A and B are shown apart, each in its own frame.
Chain A
């Protein structure tokens, strides 16, 4: 850097030249550090930290994008609790997170264990199972899902074969949740790949020693596989949980942007979008956004706090 060279070039008279030189070098390093960090730093201040503070401010105001924001104190947060649509959106999102994430991770773990062996073609299977994770959140797949689960759609055809009554899942408030859970479970490939990477790290000697001691497959799974996988499980659980809170595109497409029928697909971020960008209640939407941040933050904290009871780190793990 021209700047750094200029700095080291200008001599500073000092009783201890070595100390001064070190200080100069350190100052030059700091300047270089910030020079390199500039893109991220600008982005962080202008697009993350600044807007976060702004939305915190807005959450205490009434703002419709046209008139200037009006301070209303905690009114938005009080309104949230009295808003049946908000309560509904919080409820269905919580249901979705609590059911969808565990089912998805159990499927991911089951298939990972199935694939973790010496048979050939493993790499190909792994890639094929991963495929849906790449496209599952896209608009295209949302359209396909809707077409599959619609009245007289193929899911109806298959369901009738098993004695289920037809009528489609898309228009049935009781069935939309299972439909969305199936959509997220369908994308089990990404956590499966992470589980597989974790399984590869489990030393085979442990299983051999357990076999010598007469342990069966279930005992081996509970006493070896699960503890050894716990860091990976922790990672998957945290990421998938936070991710699940933010389901948007598929809910928007399948419900046509309304969250219907009967609010059964009014996921949290969809309601936030409707409040902010259709009703232009920006203050209210900001309050919703901050509630989401707090919930996600508390969950993250709980995960980390609880991890010392169930996550076992052995040697070097990231």
Chain B
């Protein structure tokens, strides 16, 4: 304390301001470091997707082995080739087929899972706990144990090479995950609502349609998004049941495309891969909140 005459209080004031500034600075440095690091990791993680996107704009000779993302002389030639389709079937036919399957799945699952979930969540009936246990048990069941007999049945009744085998299960809530999700959601809705409606003389149909369904919108939206994306990306189902190229959905059309252009026309392959993902990417951009929340709260897989 050589500086006599300076009051102790002003010293502490000055030093605390200094401390605060230093603290503020270190916080800012930490923040900059954090963002730099996360962005660096993010670039590495997203690189394959970016590479696909940018490669679709490059000429084929410039794709394999070119680490750079920037296309020299970008063009949409690859997309023109991809849209042309394969074996006389246009890309838009595949797109339409995929769309029919995905929209059909959404409608089927929204209807069947919500109705079935209402029974589990809100109706006291004999045998409920047994069925519920079976439903939970089927959540983790590998589908491979049912695909062979299913195929045999559909083959015997002549439904192979139609969309029926791919959509029937959706209308019968065979993907128990969605039933489970909706049961969980409904259980958290206040029971007073349907009890009040019951006293007013409403039956289950009324309670379900005019009370439950409107309240279940978040669960329905989450289910719809995942139902759409899962159907859109499904490979095994269409591979088993769709034989005629004019019925192909995009994933198996893509596989045919890759097999036929084995002279490695990577440009067109990349373009078609990008086109096949566009609806998924759009869903992701529009509904990312719903998607991520769905994963966080329900443990839904991507």
The chain A residues found within 8 Å of chain B, CB to CB, are 1, 4-5, 26, 29-44, 46-52, 54-55, 58, 65, 111, 114-115, 117, 119, 121, 123, 125-141, 143-145, 147-148, 150, 152-154, 156-158, 186-187, 189-190, 193-194, 196-197, 235, 238-239, 242-243, 245-246, 248-249, 252-253, 256, 269, 272-273, 276-277, 282, 285-286, 288-290, 292-293, 296, 300, 318
Q: How far is the CA of A51 from the CA of B152 in the complex (A)?
A: 10
Q: How far is the CA of A35 from the CA of B84 in the complex (A)?
A: 48
Q: How far is the CA of A80 from the CA of B250 in the complex (A)?
A: 35
How far is the CB of A267 from the nearest CB of chain B, in Å?
12
Chain B residue at smallest Cβ distance from A295: B142
Stretch of B5-13, B99-107, B122-130 contacting A (4+ beta carbons < 8 Å): B122-130
Q: How far is the CA of A3 from the CA of B135 in the complex (A)?
A: 27
Q: A127-B288, A150-B64, A197-B296 are in contact. List 20 more A-B contacts (CB 8 A).
A: A4-B203, A33-B123, A36-B118, A36-B208, A39-B115, A40-B176, A51-B149, A52-B145, A125-B42, A132-B45, A134-B291, A135-B49, A139-B233, A139-B235, A147-B64, A147-B269, A193-B292, A196-B296, A252-B255, A296-B141
The chain B residues found within 8 Å of chain A, CB to CB, are 31, 34-35, 37-38, 41-42, 45-46, 48-49, 51-52, 55, 63-67, 111-113, 115-116, 118-120, 123-128, 131, 134-135, 138, 140-153, 155, 168-169, 171-174, 176, 179, 184, 203-205, 208, 229, 233, 235-236, 239-240, 250-252, 254-255, 258-259, 266, 269-270, 273-274, 276-277, 280-281, 284, 288, 291-292, 295-297, 299-302
Contact B119 A36, beta carbon cutoff 8 Å: yes
Contact B150 A47, beta carbon cutoff 8 Å: yes
Q: How far is the CA of A135 from the CA of B259 in the complex (A)?
A: 21
- Tell me which residues across on chain A come within 8 A of B270, comparing CB atoms: 143-144, 147
Partner of B123, one of A29, A42, A156, A318: A29
Contact B172 A256, beta carbon cutoff 8 Å: no
Q: How far is the CA of A32 from the CA of B250 in the complex (A)?
A: 41
Partner of A152, one of B64, B112, B301: B64
- Tell me which residues across on chain B come within 8 A of A277, comparing CB atoms: 151, 240
Contact A55 B302, beta carbon cutoff 8 Å: no
Chain A residue at smallest Cβ distance from B156: A65
Q: How far is the CA of A1 from the CA of B115 in the complex (A)?
A: 14
Contact A119 B144, beta carbon cutoff 8 Å: no
Given contacts A134-B280, A139-B276, A196-B296, contact A148 B51 (CB under 8 A): yes
Given contacts A119-B34, A125-B42, A196-B296, contact A47 B174 (CB under 8 A): yes
- Tell me which residues across on chain B come within 8 A of A119, comparing CB atoms: 31, 34-35
Contact B48 A145, beta carbon cutoff 8 Å: yes
Contact A58 B148, beta carbon cutoff 8 Å: yes
Q: How far is the CA of A212 from the CA of B280 in the complex (A)?
A: 48
- Tell me which residues across on chain A come within 8 A of B124, comparing CB atoms: 26, 29, 33
Q: How far is the CA of A109 from the CA of B47 in the complex (A)?
A: 21
- Tell me which residues across on chain A come within 8 A of B277, comparing CB atoms: 135, 138, 140
- Tell me which residues across on chain A come within 8 A of B204, comparing CB atoms: 1, 4, 32, 36
Chain A residue at smallest Cβ distance from B296: A197
Sort A-B residue pairs by CB-CB distance and give the 6 closest, nearest first. A33-B125, A43-B172, A133-B302, A40-B116, A36-B119, A140-B273
User: Can you give 19 A-B contacts (C-beta < 8 A)?
Assistant: A33-B126, A36-B123, A39-B111, A41-B131, A55-B146, A58-B149, A115-B38, A119-B31, A119-B35, A132-B45, A133-B302, A138-B233, A139-B235, A141-B52, A144-B270, A154-B64, A197-B297, A239-B299, A252-B235
Contact B145 A289, beta carbon cutoff 8 Å: yes
- Tell me which residues across on chain B come within 8 A of A49, comparing CB atoms: 134
Q: How far is the CA of A239 from the CA of B148 in the complex (A)?
A: 24
Chain A residue at smallest Cβ distance from B234: A249
Q: How far is the CA of A41 from the CA of B31 in the complex (A)?
A: 54
Contact B146 A37, beta carbon cutoff 8 Å: no
How far is the CB of A284 from the nearest CB of chain B, in Å?
10
- Tell me which residues across on chain B come within 8 A of A276, comparing CB atoms: 147-148
How far is the CB of A114 from the nearest CB of chain B, in Å?
7
How far is the CB of A130 from the nearest CB of chain B, in Å?
6
Contact A293 B145, beta carbon cutoff 8 Å: yes
- Tell me which residues across on chain A come within 8 A of B140, comparing CB atoms: 238, 242, 296, 300
How far is the CB of B189 from the nearest CB of chain A, in Å?
16
